[in-house]
A and B are shown apart, each in its own frame.
Chain A
């Protein structure tokens, strides 16, 4: 049993147990929110800023709640499931997300950060590496971007990403490999020019 699952059990059962209980006692589902909303919220805000991230957070949990009867009870940790739902919802914003990366690469101003920070912070220009990275992120395919950001920002494991995206673990490996190769190539290229 992982440390996370252990702690979860101490606090009232694993996610799977809570979700199972919530079929008969819907109010128990609120505990799933309390456990995972903060990390999901952070991830969504990092990808698309506000207000979209705030809306998607609510939507993710509404959908999860409606689908709770179909939750795979063998999965003790609900994070891959929740991030999977959120990833599907993020598709609506794929173009806006890429536009924000491109704008950051071009102008040095990050719209997503600007949507969250006060005016002073907004004016702080990104350094060259961040701009390069933003340009490279914009160029990644949606699937590769989902995989690498679930890995680095959501801190999901290979298997958890596979569960979230409903793809084989081998595919996660190849997506991460490809995404990292592209990001490295962009950063190295940028470095060699300076």
Chain B
């Protein structure tokens, strides 16, 4: 029997659907129109500023300040374009794609059904974060050099309020050998940060207590938030205001940043998953996303105003958050990060450890 003939016959008589094709064509035309508006309005696009850990907000390095200023400028322009394209579009899409929404809502159900780790008075909740970030430096020639560095951080939140929180961060090291080479070549850029260990009551590291808002959350702030997904998303959007390249994009960034803190209570985690499912443009990106060895699904949102995609990676079976990552979709940054590269990611795990272990952490910087 001829295998190729059989295979050629297999599902060979499926009916055509030109109307479905027209819908796809309309989507393409709408994207083309957006791009034309963008080309007229925005000359330069910068990545949005990644919110650093709340306790580090007060001390951005030179590179971060540079990016911040540029982002503020780009955000102003981008807002004009967004307002413009709303007029052009027939009707705005409502919520995430069906696939993404199903997975997010499933994760929400599982999160609701899960139990937060119980942290005893003589125990700590340990949040371990492995992060890869992008460093960049614009040299005198105006060419942007870019590389990636990584660090590991452990945050210990005490079960006993009267005890100090402990933050222990390893040194920033080049992610790959080629990153080291570029970072060295450009010189003059930020020197990699050294590791440190900080202790403070109520998480007030470096003398500044967390503000208790989306940018600098506390357990009390989390407790005060609504659990209704629509109300929650409203609050997030209000906080995002006109930050970031677009309101929907910024809302998802805030959700991702919040989830990766690692100490979001289960019911709020569920509401955040549900809120993400309400954001237009959120879609399933990868069913088998591997982040630092943990596999989950990645849902994300492509942001046309930056050319990047913000993703949240989670386990839909357990409702646990694995981390988040940012992908350069239609732009590259230097030779090491061509379009399609993951430009930054954060993987987070939590467990409960005895106080005796935390007490033994030396005060010296981590090397």
Using a CB–CB cutoff of 8 Å, the interface residues on chain A facing chain B are: 26-27, 29-30, 33-34, 37-38, 41-42, 45-46, 50, 54-55, 57-58, 61-62, 65-67, 70, 91-92, 95, 110, 112-113, 116-117, 129-130, 133-134, 148-149, 152-153, 180, 183-184, 187-188, 191
Chain A proximity mask over B26-37: 1 for CB below 8 Å, otherwise 0: 011101100110
CA gap between A149 and B3 in the complex, in Å: 12
Do the beta carbons of A58 and B24 come within 8 Å of each other? Answer: yes
- Chain A proximity of B61: nearest CB distance (Å): 31
B220 proximal to A (CB < 8 A): no
User: Within 8 Å CB of A34, what residues of B?
Assistant: 25
The stretch that binds A, out of B13-21, B163-171, B193-201, B319-327, is: B13-21
B122 proximal to A (CB < 8 A): no
CA gap between A49 and B39 in the complex, in Å: 36
Q: A54-B23, A188-B1, A191-B1 are in contact. Are A117 and B14 (CB under 8 A)?
A: yes
Those 9 A-B pairs whose CB atoms lie nearest each other, nearest first:
A58-B24, A66-B330, A183-B3, A54-B20, A187-B1, A58-B27, A26-B32, A57-B24, A184-B3
State the majority secondary structure of interface residues on B.
helix
Closest to B288 in A: A91
User: Within 8 Å CB of B28, what residues of A?
Assistant: 29-30, 33, 58, 61-62, 65
CA gap between A34 and B339 in the complex, in Å: 26
User: Within 8 Å CB of A91, what residues of B?
Assistant: 287
- Chain A proximity of B135: nearest CB distance (Å): 24
Do the beta carbons of A70 and B21 come within 8 Å of each other? Answer: no
Interface residue ranges of B285-343 to A (CB < 8 Å)? 286-287, 307, 329-330, 339
Given A57-B24, A187-B3, output 16 extra A-B contacts at Cβ < 8 Å.
A26-B35, A41-B24, A46-B10, A46-B12, A57-B21, A61-B27, A66-B329, A95-B287, A116-B14, A116-B15, A116-B17, A129-B1, A130-B9, A130-B10, A133-B6, A152-B8
Chain B interface residue count, Cβ-Cβ cutoff 8 angstroms: 35
Closest to A66 in B: B330
> Which of A45, A65, A110, A113 contacts B31, CB < 8 Å?
A65
> Which of A30, A54, A130, A149 contacts B17, CB < 8 Å?
A54
Closest to A54 in B: B20
Do the beta carbons of B32 and A27 come within 8 Å of each other? Answer: yes
B94 proximal to A (CB < 8 A): no
Closest to A176 in B: B4
User: Within 8 Å CB of A55, what residues of B?
Assistant: 97
Do the beta carbons of B35 and A152 come within 8 Å of each other? Answer: no
* 30 pairs, CB–CB < 8 Å, chain A vs chain B: A30-B25, A30-B28, A30-B29, A37-B21, A38-B16, A41-B20, A42-B14, A45-B17, A46-B14, A54-B20, A54-B21, A54-B24, A65-B31, A65-B35, A66-B31, A66-B307, A67-B330, A70-B339, A92-B284, A92-B286, A95-B287, A112-B11, A116-B17, A129-B1, A133-B6, A133-B10, A152-B7, A183-B6, A184-B1, A187-B1
